[in-house]
Amino acid sequence: MTEEIQKKLQKELEIFNGVQKEYHKAMAQKQQLDSQLNENKAVKEELMLLKKDAEVYKLIGPVLIKQDLEEARQNVAKRMEYINKEMKRTDDHISALENKQEALQENLNKLKNDLGKMKIKA
Amino acid sequence: MATISAAPAPGMQQIDLSKLNLHQLAQLKQQLDQELNVFQDSLQTLKIAQGKFVESGESVEKITPQTKGKTVLVPLTGSMYVPGTIIDTDNVIIDIGTGYYAQKDIDGGKDYFKRKVEFVTEQMEKIQALAVEKSKAREAICMMLEMKLQAQSQAQKPSTS
């Protein structure tokens, strides 16, 4: 019986560790999205400050390509929209993982308790 | 030890330190240490960014109508240069992030870098304020830790709580 619980505990622990890893990954992703969003925000502000006839270039590979200002603005706005969506998705993912983690933790604690009781009895 | 109660105070402020046990205090201290390290790193990065903006701003200052037609050495790679002539002394092209470059006149360029330096400095100040607060909390925790340790060693040895 003890062995059985021990095995179960080990399995649960593995799952828990997996979830934790995924959680950290999601957090890192969120951070990256956040910094991208910030950079895009700054660029958007800068583009808004430009005069109507200002020249804007985009770096594509090693060359600068001239771009329409309006187009650039739209482009950045679109990108921000995309990042925001992505961000929401990651947020949901993170909270789901948090819940999962909690449930697993509870389960683990219970198993540990059971194991402890068994040992006392034995 | 009868403290497996509610989560070991993960959140913000308003935790009565004296109610935490040694383990929790140590954990909290470690967490704060980590956060302080992150702040230190961020400050370092911001300082570098600030330096770059200041440098760029100074470079813009050097372009005046008098520099028109003067020769400069243009770096093709980090170690190879070709001679070039400055033709346009009125405009500069600035990297504004995410692959976009905008043409600005000299004043616009100066203004841009001034704003950027200001922005970065502001961020640094914010982080500094946060760091000060965190290190205060850390100090308080360290003190509490020491107090608890002393109390523990003074309490008669046999009864391990």
Check residue B104 and report its DSSP letter: E
Q: How much is the pLDDT for A3? A: 86
A83–B contact, CB cutoff 8 A? no
Give the range among A3-7, A72-76, B37-41, B83-87 with minimum mean pLDDT. A3-7
Task: Please give the backbone phi and psi of residue B156, each rounded to the nearest 5 degrees, phi first.
Answer: -55, 140
Indicate the helix (H) or strand (E) that contains A89. Answer: helix A69-121
**Percentage with pLDDT > 90 across chain B:** 76
| A59 contacts B100? CB cut-off 8 A | yes
A58–B contact, CB cutoff 8 A? yes
- Amino acid making up residue B67: T
- Which domains does chain A possess? 2-8+22-121 (1.10.287.370)
Task: Report the mean per-residue pLDDT for chain B.
Answer: 87
Cα distance from A79 to chain B (closest Cα, Å)?
10
CATH code reported for the domain at B38-139:
1.10.287.370
Report chain A residues whose CB lies below 8 A from the CB of B95: 59
What's the 3-state SS for A40-66?
HHHHHHHHHHCCCCCCEEEEECCEEEE
Cα distance from A33 to chain B (closest Cα, Å)?
13
Report chain A residues whose CB lies below 8 A from the CB of B96: 42-43, 46-47
Chain B nearest-CA residue for A47: B102
pLDDT over threshold 60, residue B13: no
| Cα A122 to Cα A108, A114, A115, A117, distances in angstroms | 21, 12, 10, 9
ipTM rounded to 2 decimals: 0.75
Q: How much is the pLDDT for B5? A: 32
Report chain A residues whose CB lies below 8 A from the CB of B103: 54-57
Cα distance from B103 to chain A (closest Cα, Å)?
5
Using 70 as the pLDDT threshold, list the residues of chain A that sit under it: none
Nearest to B98 among A43, A54, A60 (CB): A43
Nearest to B97 among A42, A57, A64 (CB): A42
Report chain B residues whose CB lies below 8 A from the CB of A57: 93, 100-103
